[in-house]
Amino acid sequence: MPLIPSLWESKANRSLEFSCLRPALGAGAGSCVTSGGSRDAARAGPPKLAVCIAVIAKENYPFYIRSTPTENELKFHYMVHTSLDVVDEKISAMAKALVDQRELYLDLLYPTEDYKVYGYVTNSKVKFVMVVDSSNTALRDNEIRSMFRKLHNSYTDVMCNPFYNPGDCIQSRAFDNMVTSMMIQVC
Amino acid sequence: MSPTQWDLPVELCCRPMAFVTLTGLDVVYNAVHRAVWDAFCANRRADRVPISFKVLPGDHEYPKCRPKRTSYEWYIPKGILKTGWMNKHLNLVPALVVVFYELDWDEPQWKEKQSECATRVEIVRQSLQGRNTKVAVVLIQKKTPLPPGEDVIASERAAALCNACELSGKSLFVLPHTDHLVGYIIRLENAFYEHAQTYYYTEIRRVKSHKEFLNKTTHQLLFVRHQFKIAFFSELKQDTQNALKNYRTAYNLVHELRAHETNILEIKTMAGFINYKICRLCFQHNTPLDAIAQFRKHIDLCKKKIGSAELSFEHAAWMSKQFQAFGDLFDEAIKLGLTAIQTQNPGFYYQQAAYYAQERKQLAKSLCNHEASIMYPNPDPLETQTGVLDFYGQRSWRQGILSFDLSDPEKEKVGVLAIQLKERNVAHSEIIITLLSNAVAQFKKYKCPRMKSHLMVQMGEEYYYAKDYTKALKLLDYVMCDYRSEGWWTLLTSILTTALKCSYLMAQLKDYITYSLELLGRASTLKDDQKSRIEKNLINVLMNESPDPEPDCDIFAVKTAQKLWADRISLAGSNIFTIGVQDFVPFVQCKAKFHAPSFHVDVPVEFDIYLKADCPHPIRFSKLCVSFNNQEYNQFCVIEEASKANEVLENPTQGKMCLVPGKTRKLLFKFVAKTEDVGKKIEITSVDLALGNETGRCVVLNWQGGGGDAASSQEALQAARSFKRRPKLPDNEVHWDSIIIQASTMIISRVPNISVHLRHEPPALTNEMYCLVVTVQSHEKTQIRDVKLTAGLKPGQDANLTQKTHVTLHGTELCDESYPALLTDIPVGDLHPGEQLEKMLYVRCGTVGSRMFLVYVSYLINITAEEKEIVCKCHKDETVTIETVFPFDVAVKFVSTKFEHLERVYADIPFLLMTDLLSASPWALTVVSSELQLAPSMTTVDQLESQVDNVVLQTGESASECFCLRCPSLGNVEGGVATGHYIISWKRTSAMENIPVIRTVITLPHVIVENIPLHVNADLPSFGRVRESLPVKYHLQNKTDFVQDVEISVEPSDAFMFSGLKQIRLPAQAFYSYQYFCQATGSTHG
């Protein structure tokens, strides 16, 4: 009987954990990528991996959605929208746990056959959702984390702009550029 | 749905159970046999051993066993697994054949019976030639057997029978046909089960033994086949752990096979089978994570193994089935107690299965679009001689051919064509919808409302493709509100676009109009050219014409739809549609705003209706009406523009009812409120805006309340939070966001133009008739009528005050309890402009404290407002707080005749009662008179005349009186003796003559009366003269009933000379008084 990789076991405290839906290779890679790999990533700046990045308001309407132009935009809209189910659930679980030190990163929300959807929620309940191609197995958790952190910083800058009207959709070139830097480049 | 090529075979999906056949039972005609058979097959619960039984005749022909192969050297397998193999071992080849035979140990014709039984066994053995199947004999006996060892004949005959039948003793059973049949049967089947397990064990050994003859080059397929067989036999043996282990090995071996376009389907089919078995066993072993991991591995390995490009839809179909089968397994496990979570539940697998089914449909659409002239090949290349394939996953036209080169390309072509043509007939949408609805059911269970909505959208879209527009609309309409309420406009627009197509194709007028209205609105993310097209269509529809077809619709469906639309035009019927906008976001917005939160009844009520259109072109409405909670006003708030149907788009900028996109239109309404509505709220209950007119078709947009649709509350919130500066607009224009809906207003009475003054002299004195002068003066320009006065204690104060406050208009008589606390609606007549009237009110307050008094004057006046004469009722009120105080304090004390303070009085001895009346009133008081009413126990010594008649007391002044009283002896009275009442009659000095006098009664205190035994009274002249005698007389009075001895001694002072007895003793008899004289003379010096 093949053993479940230990990484999964540690995560799978609950009866079933979504991480087991990841391809075996991907999960294995997470635990055995050498430090050299991460140094490369650090040098190259944030990995350009996302196929869709979205910012969702507290009331769950979209502030900002950008997806790779090569694919059906609507598909990503639906994907981001459905991921809010998991986000809601995670937030309410967090509220129940009454954790002081709030973890903003929500981890993998749900995987589909072709994509992985990650989530992040700010203290004011603004959500960031990032869709990543599942074929990219080398991507690690802390890379996703750092991408979200950058996104959050950039978002904070947008909010600090005195000309920005709260509640409006985000129309900022700086934010656009930040998002572009994280998206898969289309040749 | 009948099973398709892609469904997993039943024999794969069932739980394998040991197969045991029962022979020699006549279950039709023999009741005993029937009972035995029933006991075997009825009530097979989980605690019974897993065996599948079958009754067969004794001479049944079992499948022939192929001769054993001595060498595999020249053997080349033609495929992995024969299609009949699993079924053969589940249902055809038994592990054990049981021969039932009726034979008692004491059978008289034993010999004959024994040989008959042996023959039966022999026949079974013949038919099982070459197989390892076990044979057992069960003797059905009428008698209950004796305990083993006691029946000598039985053991002898049993041994003989075993010998004759060539059976081991373990294979001979006795089944007494008695009461405890089920118990015997259970024991029997346990024994059968053991035999069966031995059989499957030997089978496993047999298959394993082939292994050593195999080589890796030519027998790769056999490795898989054998491994699969071992696993399957293990399952039959109920050894699931080993079965799982062997399946896993088999799975790895399948993927080691050399894959080529020609055999990829076979490999995938087998991999799918084995994967199914592994996942099933993992779930059964309660290791769901293993099952999921295996499935992931399986999918990752097989995802790219598409095979022939021309038949790529087959791969999609296979993938879809893999996911569906796993979903089913997962769901099955959940039903047996496994807990799933939001992010890992069967729904995801059904969803993925649906995606692959969609992909299959797409691929089939592009690959199978042969022209109608291409006929299905004849002879059918998909037909085989037996009607089934020999091996799983092979092509019917080249079964058993292992070569990777296509020997006959022509045949291949025909075969592919046949498959493609068959695929064309598959009801793809039906498959997709079933899978999606499975997924919906799961996601509903695991708290994924948005995922559920998304899947329902997909279902709706699939119904649309399947041309079931009614169902499509139903689903889409159901989920639309979810996307609307969360503000996902892109998604909403996409759904609406599909919905519009559906409603167009069905010529559903109302739906078509509703979706058009929303697609033109601000929630729609359509491009302007699309919006223009929709607007044009909408106007066509309203002019009773057919709209242009929606883009990308099926041509045939469009033809049908055009006919339907044409029918709609000719069809007479209701052409007015009322659409409530609160549930969607139409292209016109409406806000109603009263100019003020309240209006006086004498001024017209004014409000604005703001309209704004978001459509690309100017649009003209035909009618606007506003409805109120009081429907009488509805008639005043209607704007109707008579325009012909074709003018909807003409003269776009003229007219009140023509809206220019993006511009806010303000429409002012005015009406005079009814006087009955004074004090009531006037509310706009709805605003109706009509588009089109009755001659064509007419849409009435209905806003509940003062406007607002599904999106506007969120927008209003946003606008309120926003601190953006709005650009300046020309004077008569307003920013839409800055308009706040005000859908109701109060009607309040006209402002009175009179003055009400109150004149009085506070504070009020307790019980007096306090005079309150009310002056009403009219400042109106016309005569006022029906002036009424309501005055008195303001309602809503302490209830006790109502009891102790009385109001009257007549000051000349004292009012009593029967007078009310509030006088209502006292008519005082009419008043001319400038005229003034005065009314006096008298209030009697029985207790001290402050009270609020209300004076309320109402009148009627005729007013002209908006050229309409109305009678207004106006009123004005004044309240005043009046303090009530005691007018005076009365102090009473008892003193002796010598004005010495007395704690108590002595019986029969006169004393003085002194009253002291201290004015506490800030106003002068006149004490009209006073009166002392004595209690019967008191007697007066002299006249009881009032000494303070008509005394005027200023603030702080007091008036005293003195009465001499005597109290006869009463014996010892507890708490003293009542004295009586002191009554003061008084009034304000300033009060008028006719104001009655108030009598205030004061209860005098009780006094303690004491009896004394001896009373001495000295009678002294009031003065004496020098050197003259001064007679001093002492009266001694014995107050007791007894004679008392009294000794008197006189001690004169040095200033007097003394004559008479200085010291005497005398008896003092009861009730006698003695006078005793002594004379003193003295002189005073200088």
Contact B547, B540 (CB under 8 A): yes
| Banded pLDDT at A46 (limits 50, 70, 90) | low
* Chain B nearest-CA residue for A108: B343
Among partner residues B299, B339, B447, which is closest to A15 by beta-carbon distance? B339
Q: How far is A87 from chain B, CA to nearest CA, in Å?
A: 10
* A134 contact residues in B (CB cutoff 8 A): none
Among partner residues B292, B447, B717, which is closest to A89 by beta-carbon distance? B447
Instruction: Say whether B296 and A20 touch across the interface (CB within 8 A).
Output: yes
Query: Which residues, at least 6 apart from B1005, have a Cβ–Cβ distance to it below 8 Å?
Result: B892, B976, B979
Contact B430, B467 (CB under 8 A): no
What is the DSSP track for B745-769?
EEEEPPPP-EEEEEE--SSEETTSE
Task: Determine the 3-state secondary structure of B83 from DSSP.
Answer: coil
What is the DSSP track for B100-132?
EEE--TT-TTHHHHHHHHHHHHHHHHHHTTT--
Instruction: Say whether B341 and A23 touch across the interface (CB within 8 A).
Output: no
Task: Give the pLDDT score at A40.
Answer: 41
Instruction: Please tell me the distance from the alpha carbon of residue B459 to that of residue B440, in angstroms, as a whole number.
Output: 10
Instruction: Please tell me the distance from the alpha carbon of residue A135 to that of residue A113, in angstroms, as a whole number.
Output: 9
Instruction: Say whether A2 and B490 touch across the interface (CB within 8 A).
Output: no
Instruction: Say whether B491 and A73 touch across the interface (CB within 8 A).
Output: no
Neighbours of B1075 (CB within 10 A): 10
Sheet with B784-793: list strands edge to edge: B764-765, B868-885, B849-865, B784-793, B822-831
Distances (CA, A) of B711 to B27, B239, B482, B493, B524: 74, 63, 12, 14, 12
Which residues of chain B, if any, have pLDDT below 50?
1, 645-648, 652, 1082-1086
Task: Give the pLDDT score at A9.
Answer: 33
Contact B790, B858 (CB under 8 A): yes
Instruction: Please tell me the distance from the alpha carbon of residue B414 to that of residue B275, in angstroms, as a whole number.
Output: 32
Task: Give the pLDDT score at B698.
Answer: 86
A56 phi/psi in degrees, rounded to 5: -115, 135
Instruction: Say whether A85 and B721 touch across the interface (CB within 8 A).
Output: no
* A20 contact residues in B (CB cutoff 8 A): 289, 292-293, 296, 344
Instruction: Please tell me the distance from the alpha carbon of residue B24 to that of residue B139, in angstroms, as a whole number.
Output: 10
Among partner residues B288, B450, B721, which is closest to A82 by beta-carbon distance? B450
Which of B722, B516, B740, B473 lies closest to B614, judged by CA?
B516
Instruction: Please tell me the distance from the alpha carbon of residue A59 to that of residue A167, in angstroms, as a whole number.
Output: 10
Instruction: Say whether A8 and B448 touch across the interface (CB within 8 A).
Output: no
* B285 contact residues in A (CB cutoff 8 A): none
| Banded pLDDT at A36 (limits 50, 70, 90) | very low
Instruction: Say whether B292 and A16 touch across the interface (CB within 8 A).
Output: yes
Structure tokens at A147: 């991408």
Among partner residues A8, A78, A167, which is closest to B454 by beta-carbon distance? A78
pLDDT tens for A145-157 read: 888 999 999 999 9
* Chain A nearest-CA residue for B714: A59
pLDDT tens for A158-167 read: 988 888 887 7
pLDDT tens for B929-942 read: 888 888 888 888 87
pLDDT of A19 over the 90 cut: no
Torsion of CA B218, B220, B222, B227, to 10 degrees: 160
* A18 contact residues in B (CB cutoff 8 A): 341, 343-344
Q: How far is A180 from chain B, CA to nearest CA, in Å?
A: 21
Q: Which of residues 690-719 of B touch A (CB under 8 A)?
A: 714, 717-718
Task: Give the pLDDT score at B1004.
Answer: 87
Q: Could you tell me if B480 lies within 8 Å of chain A, comparing CB atoms?
A: no
Which of B668, B666, B660 lies closest to B613, judged by CA?
B660
Structure tokens at B627: 């409805």
Contact B166, B114 (CB under 8 A): no
Distances (CA, A) of B962 to B908, B982, B983: 18, 12, 14
Q: What is the ipTM of this complex?
A: 0.78
Structure tokens at B34: 């029937």
Which uninterrupted H or E stretch holds B410? helix B409-424
Contact A145, A104 (CB under 8 A): no
Among partner residues B292, B338, B494, which is closest to A74 by beta-carbon distance? B494
pLDDT of A24 over the 60 cut: no
Which of B514, B573, B613, B588 lies closest to B697, judged by CA?
B573
Q: Could you tell me if B292 lies within 8 Å of chain A, comparing CB atoms?
A: yes
Torsion of CA B1021, B1023, B1025, B1031, to 10 degrees: 20
Q: How far is B296 from chain A, CA to nearest CA, in Å?
A: 6
Q: For an interface test with A, give the residue of B343, B456, B491, B713 to mutate (most A CBs within 10 A).
A: B343
Among partner residues A22, A73, A81, which is closest to B450 by beta-carbon distance? A81
Q: How far is B728 from chain A, CA to nearest CA, in Å?
A: 17
Contact B693, B643 (CB under 8 A): yes
Provide the mean pLDDT of chain A: 73
Q: Which of residues 300-319 of B touch A (CB under 8 A)?
A: 300
Contact B236, B95 (CB under 8 A): yes
The full set of domains in chain B, from first to last, is 1-215 (3.40.50), 588-641+656-720+736-748 (2.60.40.10), 754-873 (2.60.40.10), 888-1010 (2.60.40.10), 1014-1080 (2.60.40.10)
Q: Could you tell me if B290 lies within 8 Å of chain A, comparing CB atoms?
A: yes
Structure tokens at B101: 């035979």
Q: Could you tell me if B293 lies within 8 Å of chain A, comparing CB atoms?
A: yes
* A166 contact residues in B (CB cutoff 8 A): 721-722
Instruction: Please tell me the distance from the alpha carbon of residue B882 to that of residue B850, in angstroms, as a whole number.
Output: 5
Instruction: Please tell me the distance from the alpha carbon of residue B70 to that of residue B997, in angstroms, as a whole number.
Output: 147
pLDDT of A16 over the 50 cut: no
Evaluated on CA atoms B854, B859, B864, B868, the torsion sign reads positive
* B350 contact residues in A (CB cutoff 8 A): none
Q: At which residue do the structure tokens 């031995």 appear?
A: B198
- Which of the pair, B490 or A185, is modelled with greater confidence? B490
Instruction: Please tell me the distance from the alpha carbon of residue B846 to that of residue B807, in angstroms, as a whole number.
Output: 11
Instruction: Please tell me the distance from the alpha carbon of residue B516 to that of residue B699, in angstroms, as a whole number.
Output: 12
Q: For an interface test with A, give the residue of B488, B495, B717 to mutate (most A CBs within 10 A).
A: B488
Which of B220, B208, B236, B194 lies closest to B91, judged by CA?
B236
Which of B618, B604, B743 lies closest to B687, judged by CA?
B743
Task: Give the pLDDT score at B572.
Answer: 59
Q: Could you tell me if B255 lies within 8 Å of chain A, comparing CB atoms?
A: no
Instruction: Say whether A24 and B293 touch across the interface (CB within 8 A).
Output: yes
Instruction: Please tell me the distance from the alpha carbon of residue B199 to that of residue B186, in angstroms, as a whole number.
Output: 20
Contact A127, A146 (CB under 8 A): no
Which of B216, B294, B306 lies closest to B257, judged by CA?
B216
Among partner residues B294, B344, B447, which is closest to A21 by beta-carbon distance? B344
Q: Alpha helices, DSSP H only, in B760-835?
A: 799-803
Q: Could you tell me if B288 lies within 8 Å of chain A, comparing CB atoms?
A: yes
Q: Alpha helices, DSSP H only, in B128-263?
A: 152-165, 181-210, 220-236, 240-256
Which of B436, B704, B746, B723 lies closest to B581, judged by CA?
B704
Q: How far is A53 from chain B, CA to nearest CA, in Å?
A: 15
